[in-house]
Amino acid sequence: MIYLAGLGPGHPRAMTREVRQCLNEVDVIVGYRPYLERIRPVVDSGAVDLEPGDIGQELQRAHTSINHAAAGKDVALVSGGDTGIYGMAAALFEAADRAGGTVPSLRVLPGVSALNAAGARLGAPVGQDFATVSLSDHLTPWETIEDRLYHAGAADFVVVLYNPRSSQRPHLLSRALEILRQHRASGTPVGIVRNAYRDDEEVNVTTLASVPVERVDMVTTLVVGNSRTRQQDSWMYTPRGYGAGTP
Amino acid sequence: MIYLAGLGPGHPRAMTREVRQCLNEVDVIVGYRPYLERIRPVVDSGAVDLEPGDIGQELQRAHTSINHAAAGKDVALVSGGDTGIYGMAAALFEAADRAGGTVPSLRVLPGVSALNAAGARLGAPVGQDFATVSLSDHLTPWETIEDRLYHAGAADFVVVLYNPRSSQRPHLLSRALEILRQHRASGTPVGIVRNAYRDDEEVNVTTLASVPVERVDMVTTLVVGNSRTRQQDSWMYTPRGYGAGTP
Please name the residues between 10 and 39 in chain B that touch chain A, using a CB distance below 8 Å: 12-18, 20-21
Band the pLDDT of B166: cuts 50, 70, 90: confident
Condensed to tens digits (0 to 9), the pLDDT of residues B72-129 reads 999 999 999 999 999 999 999 999 988 887 889 999 999 999 999 999 999 999 989 9
DSSP state of B81: B
Q: Which helix (H) or strand (E) holds A195?
A: none
The sign one gets for the Cα dihedral A81, A86, A90, A92 is negative
Is B210's Cβ below 8 Å from some Cβ in A? no
Band the pLDDT of B244: cuts 50, 70, 90: very low
Mean pLDDT of B11-21: 96
- Reference B221, options B238, B235, B201, B237; nearest CA is B201
Please name the residues between 63 and 82 in chain A that touch chain B, using a CB distance below 8 Å: 82
How far is Cα of residue B40 from the mean position of the Cα atoms in its chain? 21
Q: Which residues in chain B touch residue A228, judged by CB atoms under 8 angstroms apart?
A: none
Complex-level ipTM: 0.95
Band the pLDDT of A183: cuts 50, 70, 90: very high
CA distance A15 to A175: 35
Condensed to tens digits (0 to 9), the pLDDT of residues A86-144 reads 999 999 999 998 888 788 999 999 999 999 999 999 999 998 999 999 999 888 999 99
Residue B111's φ and ψ, nearest 5 degrees, are: -140, 175
Is B113's Cβ below 8 Å from some Cβ in A? yes
Q: Cβ contact (<8 Å) for A129 and B133?
A: yes
DSSP state of A215: G
Q: pTM of the prediction?
A: 0.95
Q: Cβ contact (<8 Å) for A148 and B125?
A: no
Among B83, B109, B128, B184, which would you mutate to test the A interface (most chain A Cβ atoms within 10 Å of its Cβ)?
B128
Q: Which helix (H) or strand (E) holds B109?
A: strand B106-109
Least CB-CB distance to A90: which of B16, B155, B237? B237
Please name the residues between 151 and 180 in chain B that touch chain A, using a CB distance below 8 Å: 151-152, 154-157
Residue B55's φ and ψ, nearest 5 degrees, are: -65, 145
